[in-house]
Structure 1
Amino acid sequence: MRLWPVMLPLLVAGGSPCGAGARWALQFFHDALDSELVITDLAFPSPRTGVAAGYLLERGRTRPRVLLTRDGGRSWQFVETREAAVALHFLDENLGWMVTERGLWRSGDGGATWSKLSGLRGLLRVHFLDSRRGFAVGLRKAIYETADGGVSWTRLAAADQPDSNPERTVYGWIEFAGPKVGSIVGWSSPRREPEARLPDWLDPEGAETRRQWPTFSIVLQTSDGGRSWQHSTTSMFGRITRLRRLPDGRGLALVEFQDTFEWPAEVFRIDLRENRTERAYREKNRAVTDLAFAGDRAYLAAIEPPGKLRQTPVPGRLVMIRSSNLKDWEEMEVDYRAFGRRAVLAVGGDREVWVATDTGMILRLEGQ
């Protein structure tokens, strides 16, 4: 079953601001002299309990931090951590895990305290089915499974089934739509000769001469709770960085491109009931960085690039987009102060939707 598309005609037009009073209101902003908050991930295991993770940049030093709310975002509290978070995963208001560059941490009190479980490096994401059984994915073609809550890990043989170079293969996303059906998404990037020595924003002329190369994309799927996995591969432009699925077989996949590509990102609509994939959304000035389902609606978090090159240190305007049918999309009213380079979404309960930027801002959807 193929989850990636053949390039199809554009199905939806660019959105216009939606009405009905729905707006994204700023709930938290770290606005401090000589201090910048970079939020890398956001989780809301319940409508009242939220955890934002990342780090403070202060006078050239990195200070890992977690930001907590217990009252639905009305107040937030900083908690110092020993390592900066890459990703979060929570089962409920109390039990959660934090991926860092140097291992995995566990919290039993909603993020107030953390204990290190493993020094396994190179992880990017974890997903737990219950308090003991979970999976981890990451760099160097890594997929692991645990049966003791993350204390010990076993490498899965399914990770090595796709024919790709382990040193250039990344499994960057894992998601389950219920206890049985899950997906792991990865990619293997070709080696470029010569490799770019500077980021595109420091070498714009060189960036224009470096064309986008196809990526070897990998999707692994399970229908038995991860006891067996089947893989599919294809060569395509861009990287599948998000894959969200609903229990009824519908879903959305986010493909992100490098600066030199005509489009910053595309979102594809998946219908596993009909084994069909179609383009759902793309705009040249909307760099989508995350997507999520809440109730009967889908939400996209995007950044409006401030210039021709999208991956620059300069933040762009936050743009929020939603759809009730995965075909027609509308842009929403967002607090004018909301800017960032990337944004992440979180859903608390069925309909409480939140977004955080890597510039230290957290916003909540009001008036749905």
Structure 2
Amino acid sequence: MKETTRRVFLAVGAAAGCAAGQTPGPAPPKPATPSQVRAEQLVAVPAGAIAPAEKGAGRYAAKRWKAVRLVDEDETTGALNDIRLMGMERGIAVGALNRRGKVEPQALLTRDGGVNWTAVKLRDVPLSLQMLDESRGFYVGEGSLWYTDEGGAAWEKRKLPNSREYIMLRVHFVDPKRGWAYGAGKVFWSTEDGGLTWRKVKESEDLNLKAENTIWTSMVWLGEKAAMLAGSSAVPRTEAMARIPDWMLPERAARRRLTPSTTVVGETRDAGLTWKLSVASTFGRVIRMRSYGMRALTVFHYGDGMDFPSEVYDLDLTTGKSKPLFRRKEVVVHDAVPLPGGGAVIAGVEPAGRLRATPVPGKVRIFVTDDGVEWSEMKVDYRAVGRRVTLARFSDMNMLAATDEGTILKLM
């Protein structure tokens, strides 16, 4: 598969960089259409084996990820859907416990940098979390939006957009009043009163995509006025194909042809007053974006028909240049945090079976680079398993990770 099939999204990112007041760089190559794409053998990035961090001489050589919280009660399972660090000491993770079939939503609070955690009961199962500072933040529940100004100790119910057909997955607020909600469906929403009322973003209503096939997944802000929102749209498998899950018939999934989907990107240059939306046929789905200054990392996921399950792209929003930063056959990447100087921390899961979408939790693996060239794999507590892992960073040496099996890891 050609590298250019993933640069449609990146070209729009370069435009957003220029919108943030940067000098435009050279335009990325014109993306290939599906009919032009041919099966080409991609190589791992970085090439060759990745050495353990403890054998290197970098600043992370003596660091490891220690499990500071595990769900170990009998007949109890846990899931953490999001985690945030708001300072050197304060952090929040949100998720739920399942005790013998009874779901108990909760927030976990730390006041010592993640060493100890205190549970706070919630009234709604949290899907995602955003904190504005140490005190104020929002979480998206299955039914409502919730606001705290007490660092997560207490939550006030707000509203999510009134969409019966499509569930909102995330919000992004730039202050306690002004924000956006997005998730399933082609329409995303804005609020000017902290989520008490919502209005549809008109440009998304006019998007020429089927709402039932479309999902928005990630938003990043590049300064005060420029932002990007990314998502995808794909025709679902037929009912007959979907009736039996892939993990029950791995041979079928492995033989399935890689089919193009649509990457959709929203771009604003005026702090969200107006949006320009772009769509293009690509392979894979954008599942995560994170930015640091004028640099953004984007995580793509692919199906079982491709050699590599995922890929991280590094985009310089000042020049418009992009490059593949990380892809390995044995690791499904779920999060990528940019570090100063071209560095990054990559978190993923090594699937337990032949398929990437197996229900069996896999081993958590975390990689680091200081410069985007030399990589090492960090030591992770052997008890850390999951199907998904999320990172939280306050500084280069103050980071946490959470899994959908309820484990919290701390960089020690």
TM-score by length of 2: 0.83
Gaps of 5+ in 2: 1-6, 12-30, 32-39, 55-60
Q: Residue 140 in 1 paired to residue 175 in 2?
A: no
One-letter amino acid matched to 2:9: L
3-state DSSP class of the match of 2:252?
A: helix
Look up the equivalent residue of 2:270 and give its one-letter code: D
Question: What is the CA-CA distance between 1:295 and the residue it aligns to?
Answer: 4.4
Relative to 1, partners in 2 of residues 1:327 and 1:145: Cα closer, same or farther, differing over 3 Å?
farther
Further displaced range: 80-89 or 296-305: 296-305
Q: Aligned partner of 1:74: which letter?
A: V
Task: Give the counterpart letter for 2:198 in structure 1.
Answer: W
Q: Is residue 392 of structure 2 the alignment partner of residue 346 of structure 1? A: yes
Superposed CA deviations along residues 333-357 of structure 1, whole A, max 9, x for unmatched, are 1122211111001112564111111
Match of 1:229 in 2: 275
Aligned to 2:150: 109
Asked if residue 208 in structure 1 is aligned to residue 245 in structure 2, the reply is no
- Which range moved further: 345-354 or 265-274? 345-354
- Determine the structure 2 residue equivalent to 1:319: 365
1:31 aligned partner:
72
CA contact (8 A) 1:200 1:259 kept: no
- TM-superposition CA deviations, 1:166-208 (whole Å, max 9, x none): 1111111112233222110011112433441122112324323
Q: Could you tell me whether the CA contact under 8 Å between 2:114 and 2:400 is conserved in 1?
A: no
Deviation digits for residues 108-154 of structure 1 (CA, Å, limit 9, x no counterpart)? 11111112101435111111111111111111112111111111111
C-alpha distance in 2, partners of 1:69/1:30? 17
Query: What residue number does 1:15 align with?
Result: 50
Percentage of pairs with the same residue? 36
SS of equivalent residue, structure 1 residue 3: helix
Equivalent position amino acid for 1:237 in 2: F
Report the counterpart of residue 105 of structure 2 in structure 1.
Answer: 64
Find the structure with the greater CA-based Rg. 2
Q: For the residues of structure 2 that align with 1:350 and 1:23, how far apart are their CA atoms?
A: 13
**Residue 67 of structure 1: SS of its match in structure 2?**
strand
How many angstroms apart in 2 are the aligned matches of 1:70 and 1:85? 21
Q: Give 1:125's aligned amino acid.
A: R
Map of 1:3 onto structure 2: 9
Q: Does 1:182 align with 2:227?
A: yes
State the secondary structure of the residue aligned to 2:51.
coil
> 2:320: which partner in 1?
275
The structure where helix makes up a greater share of residues is 2
Is 1:168 aligned to 2:213, yes or no? yes
Structure 1 counterpart SS, 2:212: helix
CA distance in 2, matches of 1:349, 1:322: 14
Which residue in the other structure is 2:401 paired with? 355
Checking the alignment, whether the CA contact within 8 Å between 1:162 and 1:218 is kept in structure 2 is no
- Deviates most, 79-88 or 174-183: 174-183
Instruction: State how far apart, in whole Å, the 2-side matches of 1:106 and 1:89 are.
Output: 10
Residues 295 and 274 (structure 1), Cα distance of their counterparts in 2 relative to 1, 3 Å cut = closer
CA–CA separation in structure 1 for the residues paired with 2:339 and 2:319: 23
- Report if the CA contact (8 A) 1:125-1:174 is conserved: no
CA 240–328 in structure 1, closer or farther in 2 if over 3 Å, else same: farther
Look up the match of 1:251: 296
Question: Cα 1:289–1:74, aligned 2, differ >3 Å: closer, same or farther?
Answer: same
Q: Which runs of 4+ in 1 moved over 6 A?
A: none
Q: Could you tell me how far apart the structure 2 residues matched to 1:327 and 1:163 are?
A: 40
Query: What's the CA shift for 1:231?
Result: 2.3
276-285 vs 88-97, which deviates more?
Answer: 276-285
Residue 152 of structure 1 aligns with an amino acid whose one-letter code is T
Tell me the CA shift for residue 215 of structure 1.
1.0
- In the other structure, the counterpart of 1:55 is 96
Of residues 127-136 and 325-334 in structure 1, the stretch that sits farther from structure 2 once superposed is: 325-334
C-alpha RMSD over aligned residues: 2.0
Q: Retained in 1: the 8 A contact 2:397–2:411?
A: no
TM-score (norm 1): 0.93
1:305 aligns with 2:351: yes
Quick one: which of 13, 33, 40 aligns to 2:81?
40
For residue 250 of structure 1, report the CA deviation from its aligned partner: 2.0
Q: Secondary structure at the match of 1:226?
A: coil
Whole-angstrom CA distance in 2 between matches of 1:51 and 1:198: 37
The answer to whether the Cα contact below 8 Å between 2:256 and 2:304 also exists between their aligned partners in 1 is: no
CA distance in 2, matches of 1:192, 1:11: 31
Find the aligned partners of 2:72 and 2:356 in 1 and give their Cα distance: 24
SS in 1 for 2:254: helix
Measured in 2, the distance between the counterparts of 1:188 and 1:200 equals 20
Q: Which amino acid aligns with 1:69?
A: T
Counterpart of 2:18?
none
Number of matched residues? 365
- Report the residue type matching 1:112 in the other structure: A
